Amino acid sequence: MAGPDGRLRCPWGLSTEDYVTYHDEEWGRPVHGDDALYERLCLEAFQSGLSWITILRRREGFRAAFAGFRIDEVARFTDADRERLLADPGIIRNRAKVDATLANARVLAEWADGDLDELIWSHAPDPASRKAPSVLADVPAITPESTALSKDLKKRGIRFVGPTTAYALMQACGLVNDHLEDCVIRGSGGPGAAA
């Protein structure tokens, strides 16, 4: 669909200004670094069952509540921090998701620096093996790679990361390029520009 500037974008990326910015500047661009990937993993888990715009509009609240998603700091959160989080209107106050976020930080704090980045990116498919989607219906919700990533993370103690959440993470962090074939971002030097 044509945006306000007349350029073609993925239809979902035009519904709000927040989405236009996220679509154009962030979604599908490669993300590296354990803390940055931990943030995306947590936000995708919080999004489960909700619309992404709900999470996107509370992102700064999440960052403030979870110490900028710095794994080592979140891993040291106490029961009092947990109660604070469950009372914080700036985030989604879902007990299971809050508990998973804290538990995942404790697991990841035991990993060597770079391990999360390496593990996640080891599941990126070969871009040449993926045809550019022409319509939204061509974009899968789950792939063999996202299923493998989910299993790999769960095997290592990471919670609340099913194959659909893992695929959303792969899309958001640039492991796959699901911008539609006519989207201006796909061919602009953004994610998967060579694909």
Active site positions, annotated: 22, 44, 52
| DSSP secondary structure, 96-132, as one string | HHHHHHHHHHHHHTTSPTTHHHHHHHTTPPPGGGSPP
Neighbours of 54 (CB within 10 A): 12
Question: HSE of 51 in the Cβ direction (CA atoms, 13 Å)?
Answer: 8
How many whole angstroms separate alpha carbon 37 and alpha carbon 140? 21
Tokens standing for residue 68: 């900028």
Calculate the alpha carbon distances from 186 to 26, 83, 101, 104, 150 in Å. 12, 42, 32, 32, 26
Neighbours of 84 (CB within 10 A): 12
